[in-house]
């Protein structure tokens, strides 16, 4: 290459990187101006490149968010449930292709553990059945959910393996299978097997009472009819978090951005499971017709990522939006936790992805 061209090319690369970072900062400034409340973290090789907290931990009391505040993870929890199943498999307690009736009695034959992990089981939505029939003055857990599935037996959506359809029911059953094969409580075992070994000191599956005892727990907020942010628990649509408050598997993990980065980095090691087992979590499921879904074991897969193999998961609970994005080949990570259900979440993720690609 002509040496006279080297400096202009280097300058253009630096300028492009600066431009993408400036684009991210502009997106964050705009989101903050428009009321976004949350924490964003960007990392490479486990090193934090950028971290920022915006908005309020508690709007009523005017307490600003801090980077290490605790958020409800919602469905980001599913990757931990999937890991518990993978650890059970490596301990010889189960196999991925075992039929679920080997462990749990439900009126749906020919479903395997792998179908549950990949959302290809065809199971109906447990929440609809519980909403119709459950006494909402009481909190239901997995035993009650399974009992109602047996009692009312709503029809399956499709034959196992025919399609992909996201299923919270499947992840309730997965947690129950863990309890069945270990004879241990799923909440305690998750702490013993995952959170403690990884060093996730601020992470747990917490009851409402336990959450209230965490001083830096970020309260979830929604807008009322006047456009003011109020505690999400005041909305009738949020009531299911109370009367389904004991469920295990599909949600209920609460954590911080920095703890999620520890989890992310543990997945580059064999601290929890072997690379061979973990690779199955990041691989698509082949449907009965030969087509491949874009979901592994607790992870969404993006085969068209511009930065190599990418896995991710979102979470959605009253007042909360969460997401973790992992560019596995480059060991780059985006974590975004939001506690006022703001519409800017994905725009911030896109800006962060562009900036991370140029960092």
Residues known to be catalytic: 75
The CA-atom distances, in angstroms, between 217 and each of 83, 255, 315 are 25, 9, 17
Q: Which of 235, 243, 252 is nearest to 74 (CA)?
A: 252
Q: Around Cβ 98, how many Cβ atoms within 10 Å?
A: 15
Q: With H, G, I as helix, E, B as strand and everything else as coil, classify residue 249.
A: coil
Q: Which of 357, 355, 358 is nearest to 28 (CA)?
A: 355
Q: Are 37 and 221 in contact (CB under 8 A)?
A: yes
CA 352 – CA 20 distance, rounded (Å)? 8
Cα of first residue to Cα of last residue in the chain, in angstroms, is 25
Q: Around Cβ 59, how many Cβ atoms within 10 Å?
A: 18
CA 170 – CA 163 distance, rounded (Å)? 14
Both tokens of residue 197?
């070994």
Q: Which of 311, 310, 309 is nearest to 297 (CA)?
A: 311
Q: What is the dihedral of CA 190, 192, 196, 197, to 10 degrees?
A: -100
Q: With H, G, I as helix, E, B as strand and everything else as coil, classify residue 155.
A: coil
Both tokens of residue 179?
């309890």
**DSSP H or E stretch at residue 149:** helix 142-152
Q: Which of 357, 352, 359 is nearest to 338 (CA)?
A: 352
CA 132 – CA 261 distance, rounded (Å)? 39
């Amino acid at each position: 290459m002509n040496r006279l061209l080297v400096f202009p090319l280097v300058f253009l690369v630096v300028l492009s990187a600066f431009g993408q970072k400036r684009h991210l900062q502009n997106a964050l400034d705009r989101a903050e101006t428009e009321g976004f409340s949350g924490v964003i973290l960007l990392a490479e090789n486990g090193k934090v490149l950028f971290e920022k907290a915006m908005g309020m931990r508690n709007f009523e009391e005017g307490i600003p968010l801090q980077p290490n505040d605790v958020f409800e993870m919602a469905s980001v929890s599913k990757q931990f449930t999937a890991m518990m199943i993978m650890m059970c498999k490596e301990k010889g307690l189960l196999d991925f292709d075992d039929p679920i009736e080997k462990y749990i009695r439900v009126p749906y034959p020919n479903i395997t553990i792998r179908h549950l992990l990949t959302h290809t089981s065809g199971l109906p939505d447990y929440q609809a059945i519980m909403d119709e029939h459950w006494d909402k003055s009481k909190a239901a857990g997995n035993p009650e959910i399974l009992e109602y599935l047996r009692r009312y037996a709503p029809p399956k959506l499709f034959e196992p393996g025919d399609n992909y359809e996201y299923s919270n029911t499947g992840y309730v059953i997965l947690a129950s299978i863990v309890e069945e094969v270990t004879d241990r409580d799923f909440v305690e075992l998750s702490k013993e097997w995952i959170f403690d070994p990884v060093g996730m000191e601020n992470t747990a599956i917490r009851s409402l009472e336990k959450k209230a005892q965490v001083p830096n727990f970020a309260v979830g907020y929604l807008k009322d009819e006047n456009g003011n942010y109020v505690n999400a628990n005041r909305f009738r649509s949020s009531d299911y978090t109370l009367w389904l408050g004991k469920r295990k598997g599909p949600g209920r993990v609460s954590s911080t951005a920095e703890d999620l980065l520890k989890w992310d980095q543990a997945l580059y090691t064999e601290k929890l499971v072997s690379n061979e087992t973990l690779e199955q979590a990041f691989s698509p499921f082949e449907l009965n017709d030969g087509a491949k879904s874009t979901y592994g074991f607790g992870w969404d897969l993006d085969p068209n990522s511009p930065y190599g193999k990418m896995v991710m998961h979102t979470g959605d609970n009253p007042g909360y939006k969460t997401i973790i994005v992992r560019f596995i080949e480059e060991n780059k990570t985006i974590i975004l936790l939001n506690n006022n259900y703001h519409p800017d979440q994905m725009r911030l993720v896109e800006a962060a992805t562009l900036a991370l690609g140029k960092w």
